A and B are shown apart, each in its own frame.
With several copies, the nearest count.
Chain A
Amino acid sequence: MSSEIPKKERLDRQIMALRVAKEFKDGNVVNLGIGIPGLAANFVPAGREVIFHSENGVLGYGEITLPGEGDLDLVNAGGQTVKRAPGMCFFSHDESFSIVRGGHLDISVMGAYQVSEKGDLANYMVPERQVGTIGGAMDLAFGAKKLIIVMNHTTKEGDYRIVKKCHYHLTAPKCVDLIITDIAVIEVTKKGLVLKEVAPGWTPEDVQKLTEPKLIVAPHCREIELM
């Protein structure tokens, strides 16, 4: 439990998704998990062409439609209907995970319950329910070239989510590359967790208070760029 929680304003879901989308480079093939990751599709920087993969067998789909307006045979892995787009294609589940496991995804973005300082990920077992759903998370965590976790920095109760050692069931060990939270952007490196950006109004010291392992503050640590 982190003592003395700063009462500063945190980024909302939309802004976190926007920050995630800044990681997408031209031509990247990206898989977006359910929740905040999914919102990132709406914030691809202007002029960049990003190709979205969904594990239910589609590459290159368009925007999420308004509820009730889409084709039910054209959904992302979260079951939201998406738009047809030029270049899109469909494939079977084994092919979809040949893409995932085979290292053909540039970026996978998902949520988490906990991330350790070594980049271990715990995100499938709902802690309070002692049941969980692995789904595609393990394959994605093992297979993607770059794994970005987007989550609130702490639990509702103020507990650490960035921890020395995960105490929930692991999805995969040493797999996380970048953590984007509602107060910080942290890179997982061999030397440890490197704090690269902080939310407006937050200091590296504030972020450290809400983070169990010791953070290395990057020489050029700066405020999260949101535009």
Chain B
Amino acid sequence: MPVNKIVASFDEAVADIQDGAVIMVGGFGTVVSMPSCLLEALDRKGVKNLTTVSNSSGFGADVWRMQGAKFPEDMDILVRNGRIKKAIVSAPVSAMYVNNFEKLLRAGKVEIEMVPQGTLAERVRAAKAGIGGFYVPVGIGTVIEEGKEKKVIDGREYLLELPIKADFALIHAYKGDRWGNLIYRGTSRTFNPTMAGAARVTIAEVDEIVELGELDPEAIVTPGVYVDRVVARPRECPAP
């Protein structure tokens, strides 16, 4: 049987995500880099007590709709609907305004583990690459070092950082094929290829599904081996 990782709908793609799951969500700050339709489907499913791993905590669909985004949901959909128990995150709040995550945080309704962005990326990669832990200088002399093992290597002080293991990674790519090979577009690459393969199950939301062999083998960013499911965004705007 030909390998076929393509699933028909977003609801089907997230059907086995249960309450309490650890979920990685790809992308960076702007919504175009994020798996918006997967986030919507996950929210529709009504899961609770998620631990999320993401760069940011969301601005909210309204902000992105104003900018004309076709698929406007970011992490905020999980935040505002109370689906998150704990967030492992690099950029949780905004200097510019108070987002919903900050409100929950102040109200003591969500736990947070704030991680420097590069360390977050490396901890995610470590999970994918079978690395048991690694040492970085980043965080020495700051609150980040609290509770962590320190080690001097070659005269410099380092902190031990551990892999972040997750049940599901929800990512967004530009194009994908039935083997799960993926390419991205511009700066919407970010955490998406880093998270691909870092969770037990990786689900990729793509703008377009192409035939096997259409993607240039020299330009494929995520080898299909890291991807378990591929689901395409609708060509037309969904009804509001």
Question: Which of A's residues lie within 8 Å of B, judged by CB?
Answer: 26-27, 29, 34, 47-49, 51, 53-60, 71-77, 79, 84-105, 120, 126, 129, 131-139, 142-143, 169-174
Contacts and interface: CB of A to CB of B under 8 A. Distances in A.
B92 A101 contact: no
Contacts, number: 214
27 contacts: A51-B3, A56-B29, A57-B190, A59-B223, A72-B32, A72-B69, A73-B32, A75-B30, A87-B177, A89-B181, A92-B192, A92-B193, A92-B194, A93-B55, A96-B190, A98-B128, A101-B118, A102-B128, A102-B129, A104-B225, A134-B115, A134-B116, A139-B117, A139-B138, A142-B139, A173-B141, A173-B142
Given A120-B141, A138-B118, 5 more contacts: A53-B225, A75-B30, A89-B224, A96-B190, A98-B125
A57 B187 contact: yes
A84 B184 CA distance: 16
Nearest to B181: A89
A133 B128 contact: no
A73 B3 contact: no
B185 interface: yes
B10 interface: no
Contacts of A55: 117-118
Interface in B66-117: 67, 69, 90-95, 98, 102, 105-106, 114-117
Given A73-B32, A79-B29, A94-B124, A49 B1 contact: yes
A90 B141 contact: no
Interface residues of B, number: 72
B29 A139 contact: no
A154 B1 CA distance: 37
B118 A97 contact: yes
A99 B197 CA distance: 9
A55 B191 CA distance: 11
B229 interface: no
B121 A96 contact: yes
Residue among A26, A120, A138 with most chain B CB within 10 A: A138
A98 B197 CA distance: 10
Interface string B203-234: 00000000111010110110111100000000
A97 B121 contact: yes
B51 interface: no
Interface of B: 1-3, 28-30, 32-33, 55, 67, 69, 90-95, 98, 102, 105-106, 114-119, 121-122, 124-125, 127-131, 136-144, 177, 179, 181, 184-194, 197, 211-213, 215, 217-218, 220-221, 223-226
Nearest to B192: A92
Contact of B217 (A48, A90, A132, A174): A90
Nearest to B114: A134
A133 B118 contact: no
A49 B118 CA distance: 27
Contacts of B144: 134, 138
B224 A51 contact: yes
A88 to B, nearest CB: 5
Contact of A51 (B33, B221, B225): B225
A221 to B, nearest CB: 30
Contact of B186 (A60, A71, A134): A71
B191 A93 contact: yes
A60 B220 CA distance: 12
